[in-house]
Amino acid sequence: MMRLLVLACGLVALSAPPLLAQERRVPTQPELVLSYAPVVQRVSPAVVNVYAARVVQQRNPLFDDPIFRRFFGGPGGGPSQLQRSLGSGVIVDSSGLIVTNNHVIEGADEVKVSLADKREFEASVVLKDQRTDLAVLRIKDGNTHFPFLDFANSDALQVGDVVLAIGNPFGVGQTVTHGIVSALARTQVGITDYQFFIQTDAAINPGNSGGALVDLAGKLVGINTAIFSRSGGSQGVGFAIPANMVRVVVASAKSGGGAVKRPWLGAKLQVITPDIAESMGLKRPAGALVANVLPGGPAAQGGLKAGDIIVSVDGQDVDDPNAFDYRFATKPLGGKAQLGIERGGKPQSVSVALITAPDTPREEITIRSRSPFFGAKVANLSPALADELRLNSDEGVVILDVDQGSYASNLGFQRGDVILEVNGEKIAKTGDLARASDRQSRTWRIQLLRGGQKISAVFGG
């Protein structure tokens, strides 16, 4: 590249008069007015500052000791403290529907938004989706029409496209930075379940989370979510959730659902490592390997088999399971998706129905009986819940949450633990666990599934 540049300069020098002899002139006014200002003026009214507050009770760690609690009593709560978080958001509907990051408003007791024109409104949380780290808010003012941004087709982005990032970095107020799309389909970032990010070198800093990434047409191409930084400041590597994924979450919020509805494959996928590719005779380690297929699910009904390699979804390439998850999750429900696969070294195609995972009655309960599960909130593990929690099992009873400081918390039970047996009794439903917990026992033998591994534990009564 440097040789070509030097050669080109040399040709100019041979064909042009000396530099000192060239005519100098002042640039004309039209040559100076090259600006992103028209785009910024159009989109900035739809970008808001998000203020979230929650009351946290300061806890004395001595109250975690049951002997201390026995002698001194009380719940162990100390004085309350107000914690605040700051982020950004984007209005995506004239009624005042706002998209931001879930981590901006997580656990908030109160949420307020501030518009670019200094107006402030209270906002309610309509939907939270931890899997994408997105949340949808609604401004509590039904009589006002708000400026909003239209969604762009984020799949049409190309590396090198110019983008603008708008948000509230460090709480200094609305700020605009510009850069280019430096990479697409980043799948090894480790931020959310759906690893498929737009990477940009537009300066993104703390406080930009939930803000807008827009193209030069003024359309929303992504929601700024994270930065790669060793110091906490921008180092030119920012990540945004693609607009096509944001669109799915917003559609679920508009439909009135409490959770995002996505297509369910009914199969477990595996990364193709270089060793696996070599053993299968593949030219390169690309695609998503089907590890197993659940009976009766869309994959099984469509003819997908264990050992198949998914290489595309509706003609769009799939390099790994994360790319497949994104492509499949952004498909509209109700139709079918054509999966390009390789089976036995030969290309084939299968048609898979785009339906949601079945969700049997969860029957959520919190165990309050004197047992190792005291303080654990549990539910029946359906295919829908297994998909939500990224579990390989779809039978049994799963822990959804554990009260802080409870017996279950002190014993180390975690969200996502699947309870299989208690004292030799198989646990299939929440009612089974409730009955097992009600029985008096001096010794508790528990078998559970955590991270795909069976664990056996024994606790004294």
* 264-285: pLDDT as tens digits: 999 989 999 999 988 888 888 8
Which of 13-22, 170-179, 234-243 shows the lowest mean pLDDT across its residues?
Answer: 13-22
What is the structure's pLDDT at 300? 93
Give 366's pLDDT tier (boundaries 50, 70, 90).
Answer: very high
Nearest to 88 by CA among 200, 175, 147: 175
Cα–Cα distance between 307 and 287 in angstroms, integer? 12
Domains and CATH numbers, the chain: 37-260 (2.40.10.120), 267-353 (2.30.42.10), 365-460 (2.30.42.10)
Which two tokens mark 259? 């959770």
For residue 88, what are the β-bridge partners? Answer: 49
Cα–Cα distance between 406 and 210 in angstroms, integer? 34
What is the structure's pLDDT at 347? 92
pTM of the model: 0.75
Q: For 73-81, what is the mean pLDDT?
A: 53
Name the active-site residue from 88, 103, 308, 325: 103
What is the structure's pLDDT at 391? 81
Q: For residue range 116-174, list pLDDT tens digits in order.
A: 888 999 999 999 988 888 999 999 876 778 999 999 999 899 999 999 999 887 777 78
What is the structure's pLDDT at 23? 74
Which two tokens mark 401? 């949450």
Which two tokens mark 350? 């299968």
**pLDDT higher than threshold 50 for residue 404:** yes
**pLDDT higher than threshold 50 for residue 19:** no
What is the structure's pLDDT at 68? 47
What is the structure's pLDDT at 78? 54
**pLDDT higher than threshold 80 for residue 325:** yes
* Residue 101 near residue 48 (C-beta atoms within 8 A): no
Q: Residue 209 catalytic?
A: yes
Name the active-site residue from 209, 234, 371, 382: 209
Binding residue per annotation — 380? no
Q: Residue 441 catalytic?
A: no
**pLDDT higher than threshold 90 for residue 239:** no
Binding residue per annotation — 103? yes
Give 13's pLDDT tier (boundaries 50, 70, 90).
Answer: very low
Q: Residue 387 catalytic?
A: no
Q: For 2-14, what is the mean pLDDT?
A: 34
Name the active-site residue from 133, 201, 308, 320: 133
Nearest to 268 by CA among 286, 293, 285: 293
Cα–Cα distance between 166 and 90 in angstroms, integer? 9
What is the structure's pLDDT at 31? 61
Average pLDDT across the chain, whole number: 82
What is the structure's pLDDT at 212? 92
Binding residue per annotation — 178? no
Tell me the one-letter amino acid at 200: T
**pLDDT higher than threshold 60 for residue 186:** yes
Which two tokens mark 236? 């030119």
With 0-12 CB in 10 A as exposed, 13-18 as middle and 19+ as buried, what is 1?
Answer: exposed
Tell me the one-letter amino acid at 193: D
**pLDDT higher than threshold 70 for residue 384:** yes
Phi, psi of 304, deg, nearest 5: -70, 140
